Structure 1
Amino acid sequence: MVNNEDFSKDDSSEEEWISKTQIKKEMLALQTLGEKLSTLTAEQLKTVPMSEPLRAAIEECSRIKPRSGAMKRHMNYVGRLMRTEDAEEIEQAMGRFEAGSQAHTAMFHRLERWRDRLIEGGNDELQTYLTETPEADIQHLRQLIRNAKKEAEKQQAPAAARKLFKYLRELAEAKL
Structure 2
Amino acid sequence: MPKKNPVPAAETPLEDERPSKSQLKREMHALQELGETLIAMKPGERARFALSDDLEHAIDETARISSREARRRHMQYVGKLMRKEDLTALHAEFDAIDKERFQRDHAFHRLEKWRDRLIDEGDTAVDHYMQDHPDADRQTLRQLVRNARRERDQQKPPVSARKLFKYLRESQNI
Give the TM-score normalised by the residue count of structure 2. 0.84
> In the alignment, which residue of structure 2 is the partner of 1:124?
124
> In the alignment, which residue of structure 1 is the partner of 2:142?
142
> In the alignment, which residue of structure 2 is the partner of 1:74?
74
Deviations 1:58-117 (A, max 9, x none): 23334445x933332222221111011111111111111111111111111110000000
How much does 1:39 deviate? 2.3
- Against the structure 1 CA distance between its residues 126 and 91, is the aligned structure 2 distance closer, same or farther, given a 3 Å change threshold? same
What residue ranges of structure 1 are gaps of 5+ in the alignment?
1-11
> In the alignment, which residue of structure 2 is the partner of 1:6?
none
The whole-number CA distance in structure 1 between the counterparts of 2:139 and 2:62 is 49
> In the alignment, which residue of structure 2 is the partner of 1:37?
38
- Against the structure 1 CA distance between its residues 152 and 58, is the aligned structure 2 distance closer, same or farther, given a 3 Å change threshold? same
Q: Which moved more, 1:137-146 or 1:35-44?
A: 35-44
Give the TM-score normalised by the residue count of structure 1. 0.83
Contact kept in structure 2, 1:30 and 1:87, CA below 8 Å: no
Amino acid at match of 1:156: K
Contact kept in structure 1, 2:122 and 2:145, CA below 8 Å: no
Aligned residues: 162
What residue ranges of structure 2 are gaps of 5+ in the alignment?
1-12
How much does 1:38 deviate? 1.6
The whole-number CA distance in structure 1 between the counterparts of 2:65 and 2:114 is 42
**Match runs of 1:31-110 below 5 Å:** 31-64=32-65, 68-110=68-110
The whole-number CA distance in structure 2 between the counterparts of 1:71 and 1:165 is 43
- Against the structure 1 CA distance between its residues 63 and 103, is the aligned structure 2 distance closer, same or farther, given a 3 Å change threshold? farther
